[in-house]
């Protein structure tokens, strides 16, 4: 489902008429080679499209206006091959509403001391041009990204690639639509928030539905559809019957299959790419959605429990940024406090994202201590190891705040035969006591999104684009 429509980035090269036609032909030739090489390298997640040389204010303004208008253009990358007087850039830059990256690079990597003359200097004066152009972006308060280094260097290409993912996620943020099946969990504070402000600031549409609207779609799912999906479960997952009779077990799993098909249908009909559930609001449902939610998470839907639409939207946003790899909704559950082993066990009642699984998930049916419904089926697995970033958004009454903590995930070493949920373990940076203290003091929530494929810098780049206050713990 993780559908992001076709995107591209426009590459705009700054120069001016002063150096003559021959110099401009060289600028164009170098720009073509740069774009062709970067596109062919396949190291960028989206293609670059070279636009005409930015040598007049009118040309620059036209390019930026066109970029705003075209949905497929996710952002602009600029490069100053020569000096390019910055007053020419004011009108276009002010109009530009898409993310902007200033690539501070130069065509040649080294200075050719044996042959360098004034013609060469005039043609290759990126150091000069970068400062003139950078000044106007700074003065305009443009929240642009600056990437510095030779354009063939791996770290430069990686920085551009990371920024492209942020730019696409930022654009897609304005296509995030969350369906809330039921309201927020009663009495819980951190899952609340100002939906109007969230739509103004981040573009999120958050719609409530009474649970009966969903139940009627779930009830209309046919037995044939359920059997076909059950066969798919059999191919993908291990089945663990536990103390259940096999027939009873299968019946419980098929309730989740019915929910999965019904929820997907409901979300597709309304063009929703994220949703919430609430175990307090299950009228007409046989089970709290568990396995069904996990399957939709794996497809790229944003999700959070207990009506937490903010975290569901952040989940969707980060899934777009991470190409739906190793990214999902999470909840801080239980501390490991033994000296030298301090960590936090992450999980949820059932809804842990299978994109984080290190092993083949197994389906388990188990009672749920909350919710007053029949024993629900869920996917159980262990989480992957690696360095990651965990993010939580909270409404502080006057503004939204984003908490970011760098974490180090590790695989559990000991089995937990009585734990009927997926588990993810991590150590927090800079250290357990300082990290946990900072998180709590800053008001970070218990619902988060974790990703092994996103960097703190990417999160902060997005936060700057939407004017979001951040607290970073690392
Ligand atoms: Mn929760």
Distance, CA 96 to ligand 1 centroid (Å)? 39
CA of 435 to the centre of ligand 1 (A): 21
For 265, residues 6+ apart whose C-beta sits below 8 A from its C-beta are: 217, 221
Average predicted confidence (pLDDT) for the chain: 97
- What is the distance in A from the centroid of ligand 1 to the CA of 456? 24
Residue 145, both tokens: 């990204």
* Residues 123-174: tens digit of each pLDDT: 999 999 999 999 999 999 999 999 999 999 999 999 999 999 999 999 999 9
The CATH code that applies to domain 8-173 is 3.40.50.10940
Q: What is the pLDDT of residues 9-57, one digit of tens each?
A: 999 999 999 989 999 999 999 999 999 999 999 999 999 999 999 999 9
Task: Tell me how far the alpha carbon of residue 151 lies from the centroid of ligand 1, in angstroms.
Answer: 44
- Residue intervals of the chain classified under CATH 3.20.14 are 177-473
For residue 445, how far is its CA from the centre of ligand 1 (angstroms)? Answer: 10
Q: What are phi and psi of 156, to 5 degrees?
A: -70, -45
How many angstroms is it from 308 CA to the middle of ligand 1?
8
Distance from the alpha carbon of residue 368 to the mean position of ligand 1, in angstroms = 14
CA 457 – ligand 1 centroid, Å:
27
Distance 307 CA to ligand 1 centre (A): 9
Q: How far is the CA of 185 from the centre of ligand 1 (A)?
A: 9
- Kindly give the distance from the C-alpha atom of residue 289 to the centroid of ligand 1, in angstroms, as a whole number: 13
Question: How far is ligand 1, taken at its centre, from the CA of residue 325, in Å?
Answer: 22
pLDDT over 70 (residue 186):
yes
pLDDT at 370 over 80: no
Q: Is the pTM of this model over 0.95?
A: yes
CA of 275 to the centre of ligand 1 (A): 14
- C-alpha 331 to ligand 1 mean position (Å): 6
Q: Would you state the pLDDT for residue 373?
A: 85
Calculate how far, in angstroms, residue 348's C-alpha sits from the geometric centre of ligand 1: 6
pLDDT tens for each residue of 409-439: 999 999 999 999 999 999 999 999 999 999 9
Model confidence pLDDT, tens digit, residues 82-106: 999 999 999 999 999 999 999 999 9
Task: Measure 281 CA to ligand 1 centroid, in angstroms.
Answer: 14
Say how many Å lie between the CA of residue 217 and the centre of ligand 1. 25
Q: Start-end ranges of CATH 3.40.50.10940 in the chain?
A: 8-173
pLDDT > 80? residue 1: no
Over 90: is that where the pLDDT of 3 sits?
Answer: no
Determine contact, residues 346/302, Cβ cutoff 8 Å. Answer: no
Q: In what order do the strands lie in the sheet with 48-50?
A: 48-50, 8-14, 73-80, 100-104, 145-148
Taking the centre of ligand 1 as the mean of its atom positions, its distance from the CA of residue 393, in whole angstroms, is 14
Distance 323 CA to ligand 1 centre (A): 24
Q: pLDDT at position 331, please?
A: 98
Q: How far is the CA of 313 from the centre of ligand 1 (A)?
A: 15
| 252 Cα–ligand 1 center, Å | 23
Q: How far is the CA of 191 from the centre of ligand 1 (A)?
A: 9
CA of 381 to the centre of ligand 1 (A): 18
CA of 339 to the centre of ligand 1 (A): 28
pLDDT value of position 371: 62
Task: Give distance in angstroms: CA of 421 to centre of ligand 1.
Answer: 13
Q: For residue 447, how far is its CA from the centre of ligand 1 (angstroms)?
A: 6
Residue 279 CA to ligand 1 centre (angstroms): 10
- Nearest in space to 465 (alpha carbons), one of 388, 402, 398: 402
pLDDT tens track for 286-318: 999 999 999 999 999 999 999 999 999 999 999
Cα(264) to ligand 1 centroid in Å equals: 22
To the question of domain 177-473 being in CATH 1.20.120, the answer is no
Ligand 1 mean position, distance from CA 349 (Å) = 7
Q: Model confidence at 375, in pLDDT bands (50, 70, 90)?
A: very high
Q: How far is the CA of 188 from the centre of ligand 1 (A)?
A: 10
CA of residue 334 to ligand 1 center, whole Å: 13
């Amino acid at each position: 489902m993780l559908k992001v429509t076709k995107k591209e980035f426009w590459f705009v090269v700054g120069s001016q008429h002063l150096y003559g036609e021959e110099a401009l032909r060289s600028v164009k030739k170098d720009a073509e080679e740069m774009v062709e090489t970067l596109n062919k390298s396949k190291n960028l997640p989206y293609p670059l499209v070279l636009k005409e040389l930015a040598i007049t204010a009118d040309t620059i303004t036209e390019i930026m206006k066109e970029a705003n208008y075209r949905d497929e253009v996710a952002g602009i990358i600029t490069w100053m091959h020569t000096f390019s007087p910055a007053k020419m850039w004011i009108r276009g830059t002010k109009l530009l509403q898409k993310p902007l990256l200033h690539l501070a690079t130069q065509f040649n990597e080294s200075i050719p001391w044996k042959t360098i003359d004034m013609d060469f200097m005039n043609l290759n004066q990126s150091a000069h041009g970068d400062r003139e152009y950078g000044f106007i972006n700074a003065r305009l308060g443009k929240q642009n990204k600056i990437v510095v280094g030779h354009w063939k260097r791996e770290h430069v290409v990686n920085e551009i690639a990371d920024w492209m993912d942020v730019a696409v996620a930022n654009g897609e943020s304005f296509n995030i639509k969350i369906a809330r099946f039921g309201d927020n969990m009663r009495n819980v504070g951190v899952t609340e928030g100002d939906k109007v402000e969230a739509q103004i600031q981040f573009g999120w549409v958050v719609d409530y539905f009474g649970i009966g609207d969903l139940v009627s779609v779930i009830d209309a799912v046919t037995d044939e559809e359920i059997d076909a999906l059950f066969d798919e479960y059999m191919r993908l997952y291990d089945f663990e019957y536990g103390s259940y009779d096999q027939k009873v077990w299968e019946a419980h799993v098929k309730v989740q299959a019915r929910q999965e098909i019904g929820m997907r249908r409901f979300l597709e009909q309304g063009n929703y790419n994220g949703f919430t559930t609430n175990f307090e609001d299950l009228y007409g449902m046989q089970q709290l959605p568990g396995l069904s939610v996990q399957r939709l998470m794996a497809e790229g839907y944003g999700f959070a429990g207990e009506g937490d639409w903010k975290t569901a939207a952040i989940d969707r946003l980060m899934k777009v940024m991470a190409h739906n790899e190793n990214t999902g909704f999470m909840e801080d559950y239980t501390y490991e406090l033994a000296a030298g082993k301090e960590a936090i066990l992450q999980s949820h009642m059932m809804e842990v994202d299978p994109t984080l699984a290190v092993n083949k998930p197994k389906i388990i049916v188990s009672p749920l201590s909350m919710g007053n419904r029949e024993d629900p089926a869920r996917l159980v697995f262990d989480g992957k190891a690696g360095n990651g970033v965990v993010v939580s958004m909270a409404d502080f009454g006057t503004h939204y705040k984003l908490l970011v903590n760098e974490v180090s995930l590790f695989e559990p070493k000991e089995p937990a035969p009585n734990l009927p949920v997926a588990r993810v373990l991590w150590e927090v940076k800079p250290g357990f006591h300082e990290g946990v203290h900072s998180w709590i003091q800053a008001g970070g929530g218990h619902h988060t999104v974790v990703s092994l494929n996103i960097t703190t810098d990417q999160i902060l780049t997005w936060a700057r684009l939407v004017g979001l206050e951040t607290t970073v713990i690392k």
